[in-house]
Structure 1
Amino acid sequence: MRIGIQTGYWSRRPPKGIQQALVAAEALGLDSVWTAEAYGSDAFTPLAWWGSRTRRVRLGTGIAQMAARTPTATAMQAITMDHLSKGRFVLGLGASGPQVVEGWYGQPYRKPLARTREYVDILREVFARERPVAYDGEFYQLPLPADAPGAMGLGKALKPTVHPFRKEIPVVLAAQGPKNVALAAEIADGWMAGFYAPRMDAEFRALLDEGFAARSEERSPASGFEVLATVPVVVRDDVEAAADVIRPHIALYAGGMGSKEANFHKASLDRLGYQDAMDEVQALYLAGRKDEAAAAVPTALVEEIALVGPASKVRRDLERWESTALTTLLVQGDPASMLAVLAAAQDRTPAGRVRSAAGAALARIAPRKV
């Protein structure tokens, strides 16, 4: 299992210490770094800026929202990033939710699975650069039909002027619902999970197998499929104090990222067996009682989907993830905690020795007690 860093999306301002953490983590054997977007910072710009200081790690969007860009615009950015990184780029995509898609982007959210299929189809056409891109789908038409509202009828099928660095840029789909997970296994090169609990590994594997069974023979073998999950990590001497750092994050997703009628994040947590607790969290959050909502998040839930507590406990808990379907664990948190997990993972490998330069960098930004 590889270790990556999920930097997430920004809140009020750029996060501190990420650039130094990435440089130190690369020396420790970091596999990848991922960025996200909601309705503030975008996913591509920080990845290019921070990634320019790295030489080996993979650079992934985790995730770029499909509603934010047309398929061809996303393909252009992916091709550009892949060239600049010399083939290290991974395109992580997600449908987001109706609150963001319809409220922020002003785009309809209906039929997200069908829309995702068309989006990925067009990306593959652009990356291959075998012919001008023409597509006649329910959601995307290239060129725009002459009889479309506002059309001038002058559209022409085009292919990118830039020759892609790779004709197969990996596409990873973020998914939480059962049908979305199966779709990722069917049409993508990887699945990025939300709220992955090792206890549910058998159920997740079954959904992936369902998608693999429907996979086109033209696509790469399912054996090379990547499974990633973002796992928050907070290293503290006290477990409850560490869990308190993560509770507001869970409360936000269960209560504030969507409506009471449609919240895919809450549904994912419900399926883990915490529906009653999440109903309470959502009700408190929607009533504006955010602190109480966070306090209502069970510690047991935090420990299932995150790594919290003293470094020795985090090291032990990490073992639960190593027997799952995950190929890449994306740690998220303060730089010190993230690097502590990376160091713990490397310590268990045969060549698990931290080079002196990496150790010095780690000591500067990751004190033993955070």
Structure 2
Amino acid sequence: MTVPLAGVPLADHAAVYAALTDAGFTDLWSSEVAGTDAFTPLTLAAAWQPRARLGTAIAPVFTRGPGLLAMTAAALAEAAPGRFQLGIGASSPVVAGDWNAADFARPYARSRDMLRFLRAALAGEVVDQAYDTFTVRRFRLERPPATPPPVLLAALRPGMLRLAAAEADGVILNWLAATDVPRALSEVRPARPDFDVVARIFVCPTADTGYARTVGRRMIAAYLTVPAYAEFHRWLGREADLAPMWTAWAAGDRRGALAAIPDEVVDALIVHGEPERCREHVAAYAKAGVTVPVMALLPTPELEQNPTTLATLIPRLAI
């Protein structure tokens, strides 16, 4: 499950983490956009829930310097030995540039360089290296973790997928349908048949189809108009389905962009329906090759009207 859950104060998540693990959720994964940072919720989980595996999906490679990212990951790996996986990725021009004043340039090269630096630094090596996108002079962690965390790379299209297969410990997928998984894995499985494959899956567990599709359309318009995600879905074969949305969005017609998204696309990318149906849909990702399907719980009318229903919802979602 993606944590923290919306609407629940972070200080109250001890009970949430316990409920998730009691229900059968094995992993707690964080994200980092404009809510909590990626590491604080997992640091709390490391202390509060010693049964759970932890992961970031993702920590952006532009928003922290190499040394700081290594120190942060090492600290969490020390707090949760053998239970933490560091997921990194390029993120987006908005997150990196508009919100964090970073130069979002050469995202492939920056991701590759940060991956190489982190693997060396987290192993306790002295890093004295001029990479293509940054230079590090004689950096060594004062507290290298006894168990270096696996480093996973977020990837969309073939170049980054092949980089993950060649140099990372796993790959993180995002914003794809269960039927898209084989296409993505065709770029990594031949080289790494036992590769860890994490996928964030957006789940709106409600029988109110209209509500779920409205939420889904807003999310799709916000994300799939970002150039990297637009190119990803062109590669997946959705250009005909999404071209009207892209055209309306580029013209400043936000309502038109939302209306142009076909129901079939929403239903493929946003898991919705009764919790048991959602569970079956998420299981389809696992059957397609995802080894760690990470649900991201979206708001529902039921949860908005009565937040206490979360306690009964969690066990119904666990696979």
Same fold (TM over 0.5): yes
Q: Aligned partners of 1:84 and 1:34: how far apart in 2?
A: 16
Q: Is the 8 A contact 1:91 1:169 kept in 2?
A: yes
Q: Is the 8 A contact 2:212 2:300 kept in 1?
A: no
Q: Look up the match of 2:157.
A: 177
Q: Look up the match of 2:217.
A: 247
Q: Aligned partners of 1:18 and 1:297: how far apart in 2?
A: 35
Deviation at 1:38, TM superposition (A): 2.2
SS at match of 2:82: coil
Runs of 4 or more, structure 1, over 4 Å off, are 12-19, 286-289, 334-337, 365-368
Q: Look up the match of 1:147.
A: none
Match of 1:7 among 3, 6, 10: 3
1:138-287 to 2 correspondence within 5 Å? 138-143=132-137, 157-166=138-147, 168-209=148-189, 212=191, 222-255=192-225, 258=226, 263-287=227-251
Deviation at 1:269, TM superposition (A): 2.5
Specify whether residues 317 and 137 from structure 1 end up closer, same or farther in structure 2 by C-alpha distance, changes over 3 A only: closer
SS at match of 1:208: coil
Larger radius of gyration: 1
1:1-370 to 2 correspondence within 5 Å? 5-7=1-3, 19-130=14-125, 132-143=126-137, 157-166=138-147, 168-209=148-189, 212=191, 222-255=192-225, 258=226, 263-334=227-298, 362-363=311-312
Q: Aligned partners of 1:306 and 1:18: how far apart in 2?
A: 25
Q: TM-score, normalised by structure 1?
A: 0.74
Q: Cα deviations across residues 230-249 of structure 1 (Å, max 9, x unaligned)?
A: 11111222333322222211
Q: Look up the match of 1:351.
A: none
Q: Aligned-pair RMSD on alpha carbons?
A: 3.1
Q: Is the 8 A contact 2:78 2:145 kept in 1?
A: yes
Q: Look up the match of 2:306.
A: none
Q: Give aligned pairs, total.
A: 310
Give the partner amino acid of 1:205: L
Deviates more, 1:324-333 or 1:272-281: 272-281
Q: Cα deviations across residues 104-135 of structure 1 (Å, max 9, x unaligned)?
A: 333333332222222122112211214x2211
Q: Cα deviations across residues 148-176 of structure 1 (Å, max 9, x unaligned)?
A: xxxxxxxxx2422114131x311111111
Q: Is the 8 A contact 1:9 1:42 kept in 2?
A: no
SS at match of 1:313: helix
Q: Aligned partners of 1:184 and 1:264: how far apart in 2?
A: 17
Q: Is the 8 A contact 2:198 2:292 kept in 1?
A: yes
Specify whether residues 184 and 310 from structure 1 end up closer, same or farther in structure 2 by C-alpha distance, changes over 3 A only: same
Q: Aligned partners of 2:256 and 2:198: how far apart in 1?
A: 31
Q: Percent identity?
A: 27
Give the partner amino acid of 1:293: A
Q: Aligned partners of 1:280 and 1:26: how far apart in 2?
A: 42
